[in-house]
């Protein structure tokens, strides 16, 4: 956000300069300031005194015109947004001054209910700063000379970033060598923890850099970051690394474990609806103090003739050591025996979460019992004998 606002401000200063007719000469400023905001902080004042009197280059004039237009456009958009927000606030009977973006989203989903599947396709009202992507400020002075030494790479911010990473890596390598000579070892306590993080995805990196990058360039970025992180002294450049890390979600805490209900006999029970696998669909009820009774569509485990399917039913029970301690009731429809068994297995595993501790839940997750199996039959392709198999090739 800050980045975008900043670039807008810059555009404004540029316009002021145009109006002033470049009357205020200033010494050239450094082109690359803190890497947090990438290259948007260039100012047009950076012209050396000698070239100051030369006429403004065509590119610069075109840029200033464009910047001007963009600025005007954003201004009207901001105004419209403010008015729209006020209207919404009035409609919802809220105070317009304290109407936040969250309230806006809520009001929109209330006033314009949409059944469209993709959230992106539903009506929305967002700040123009979010809707219109940030743009780069001028990268050259009024004579048309670029500020950045990497300007002609076309992606100065990206390549500057690569340079910075390598610089950081070299620094760490030097440090490591010095420490080795002195006989010191890296501090184990300060070791960089990256388990819960991953590198910024490509689209987010592009937003950060205000540049679009190719796949191979992104993989170059990943590789050089990996090299940096692999260094034993990586914790020394923690602040640099952390800017390009994104926290991952904690998987086993992701889904809330439901609280068991109490039935007429005073037993705890949990019902999981919509247990799906292939084309089978089941709902499973697990009751806690039980004797290991299993009933599927009114029959016992002999509902499944196949030995393997029976084993699948018992798998989560046996894994969580609750076999013979709970009762299971299931209603299944659709699909074949293997799909039905898979659906019930998932349902039992999901229900059992309420009756075991967190450690066991994590263990069950690692065993792949809590993941919904989305695999389906792969379709046949035309020009092929099956999903993957090709027709026999005959030359003539």
Partner 1 sequence: MSFLSRLAVKSSGFSCIRRMSVYPQHYAEPVVQKNKQIEQKSELAKLHHVPIKAAVNKASDTVFHDDTKEKMVNYITKKGNSALARSLLSKTMELIKRTQTEHMNLAKGDDKDKINTNAETLLKQAVENCRPLLQVTAIKRGGVNYQVPVPITTKRSYFLAMKWLLEAAREKERKVSLPEKLAWEILDAAHGQGRVVKRKDDLHRQCESNRAYAHYRWS
218 counts as binding partner 1 under rule CB under 8 A: yes
362 counts as binding partner 1 under rule CB under 8 A: yes
- C-alpha to C-alpha distance for 63 and 128, rounded to whole angstroms: 21
Task: Candidates 99, 132, 235, 319: give the one binding partner 1 (CB under 8 A).
Answer: 319
How many beta carbons lie within 10 A of that of residue 119, not counting itself? 8
Residues in the chain: 396
| Interactions with partner 1, residue window 232-251 (CB under 8 A) | 248-251
295 counts as binding partner 1 under rule CB under 8 A: no
318 counts as binding partner 1 under rule CB under 8 A: yes
**Pairing, β 294-296 against β 280-287:** unpaired
Task: Candidates 212, 308, 358, 384: give the one binding partner 1 (CB under 8 A).
Answer: 308
Least Cβ distance, residue 27 to partner 1 (angstroms): 41
Task: Residue 280: name the closest of 353, 387, 376 by CA.
Answer: 376
Task: Candidates 46, 199, 296, 344: give the one binding partner 1 (CB under 8 A).
Answer: 199
Q: Which range, of 12-20, 29-37, 41-49, 211-219, touches partner 1 by CB under 8 A? A: 211-219
Task: Candidates 16, 223, 358, 384: give the one binding partner 1 (CB under 8 A).
Answer: 223
358 counts as binding partner 1 under rule CB under 8 A: no
In the complex with partner 1, the residue whose CB is nearer, 14 or 224, is 224
Least Cβ distance, residue 181 to partner 1 (angstroms): 29
- C-alpha to C-alpha distance for 56 and 144, rounded to whole angstroms: 8
Q: Which range, of 69-77, 84-92, 231-239, 314-322, touches partner 1 by CB under 8 A? A: 314-322
Task: Candidates 374, 382, 391, 393: give the one binding partner 1 (CB under 8 A).
Answer: 374
In the complex with partner 1, the residue whose CB is nearer, 125 or 162, is 162
62 counts as binding partner 1 under rule CB under 8 A: no
In the complex with partner 1, the residue whose CB is nearer, 32 or 296, is 296
Least Cβ distance, residue 303 to partner 1 (angstroms): 16
In the complex with partner 1, the residue whose CB is nearer, 10 or 344, is 344
3-state SS of the chain is CHHHHHHHHHHHHHHHHHHHCCCCCCCCCCCCCCCCCCCCCCCHHHCCHHHCCCCCCHHHHHHHHHHHHHHHHHHHHHHHHHHHHHHHHHHHCCCCCCCCHHHHHHHHHHHCCCCCCCHHHCCCCCCHHHHCCCCCCCCECCCCCECCCCHHHCCHHHHHHHHHHHHHHHHHHHHHHHHHHHCCCCCCCCCCCCCCEEECCHHHHHHHHCCCCCHHHHHHHHHHHHHHHHCCCHHHHHHHHHCCEEECCCCCCCCCCCCCEECCCCCEEEEEEEEEECCEEEEEEEECCCCCCEEECCECHHHCCCHHHHHHHHHHHHHCCCCCCCEEEEEEECCCHHHHHHHHHHHHHHHHHHHCCHHHHHHHHHCCCCCCCCCCCCCCCCCECCCCCECCCCCC
Q: Which range, of 54-62, 154-162, 195-203, 286-294, touches partner 1 by CB under 8 A? A: 195-203
Least Cβ distance, residue 98 to partner 1 (angstroms): 36
How many residues bind partner 1 (CB under 8 A)? The answer is 52
- Both structure tokens of 138: 């001028």
In the complex with partner 1, the residue whose CB is nearer, 283 or 362, is 362
Residue with tokens 């805490």: 253
| Interactions with partner 1, residue window 376-395 (CB under 8 A) | 376, 378
Q: Which range, of 38-46, 88-96, 134-142, 219-227, touches partner 1 by CB under 8 A? A: 219-227
Least Cβ distance, residue 308 to partner 1 (angstroms): 6
Binding stretches for partner 1 (CB under 8 A): 194-204, 215, 218-219, 222-223, 225-226, 229-230, 248-252, 306-308, 311-312, 315, 318-319, 338, 341-342, 346, 362-363, 365-376, 378
């Amino acid at each position: 956000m800050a980045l975008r606002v900043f670039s807008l401000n810059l555009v404004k200063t540029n316009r002021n300069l145009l109006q002033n007719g470049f009357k205020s000469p200033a010494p050239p400023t450094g082109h690359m300031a803190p890497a947090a905001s990438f290259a948007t902080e260039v100012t047009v004042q950076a012209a050396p005194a000698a070239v100051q009197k030369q006429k403004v280059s065509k590119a610069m004039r075109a840029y200033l015109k464009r910047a001007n237009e963009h600025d005007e456009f954003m201004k009207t958009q901001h105004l419209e947004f403010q008015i729209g927000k006020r209207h919404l606030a009035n409609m919802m009977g809220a105070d317009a001054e304290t109407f936040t973006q969250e309230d806006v989203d809520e009001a929109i989903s209330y006033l314009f209910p949409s059944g469209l599947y993709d959230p992106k396709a539903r009506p929305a009202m967002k700040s123009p700063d979010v809707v219109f992507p940030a743009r780069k400020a001028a990268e050259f002075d009024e004579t048309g000379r670029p500020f950045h030494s990497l300007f002609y790479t076309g992606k100065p911010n990206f390549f500057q970033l690569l340079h910075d990473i390598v610089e950081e890596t070299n620094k760490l390598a030097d440090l490591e060598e010095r420490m080795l000579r002195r006989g010191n070892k890296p501090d184990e306590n300060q070791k960089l923890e990256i388990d819960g993080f991953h590198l910024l995805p490509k689209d987010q990196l592009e937003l950060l850099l205000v540049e679009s990058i190719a796949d191979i360039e992104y993989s170059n970025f990943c590789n050089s970051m990996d090299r940096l992180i692999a260094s034993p002294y990586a914790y020394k450049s923690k602040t640099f690394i952390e800017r390009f890390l994104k926290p991952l979600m904690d998987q086993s805490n992701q889904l809330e474990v439901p609280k068991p209900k109490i039935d007429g006999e005073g037993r705890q029970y949990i019902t999981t609806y919509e247990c799906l696998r292939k084309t089978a669909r089941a709902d499973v009820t697990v009751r806690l103090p039980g004797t290991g009774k299993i009933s599927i569509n009114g029959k016992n485990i002999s509902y499944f003739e196949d030995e393997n399917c029976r084993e699948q039913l018992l798998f989560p029970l046996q894994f969580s050591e609750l076999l013979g301690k709970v009762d299971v009731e299931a209603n299944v429809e659709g699909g074949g025996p293997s799909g039905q068994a898979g659906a019930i297995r998932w349902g039992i595993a999901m229900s059992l979460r309420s009756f075991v501790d967190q450690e066991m839940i994590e263990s069950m997750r690692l065993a792949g019992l809590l993941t919904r199996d989305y695999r389906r039959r792969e379709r046949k392709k035309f020009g092929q004998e099956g999903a993957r198999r090709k027709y026999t090739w005959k030359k003539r």
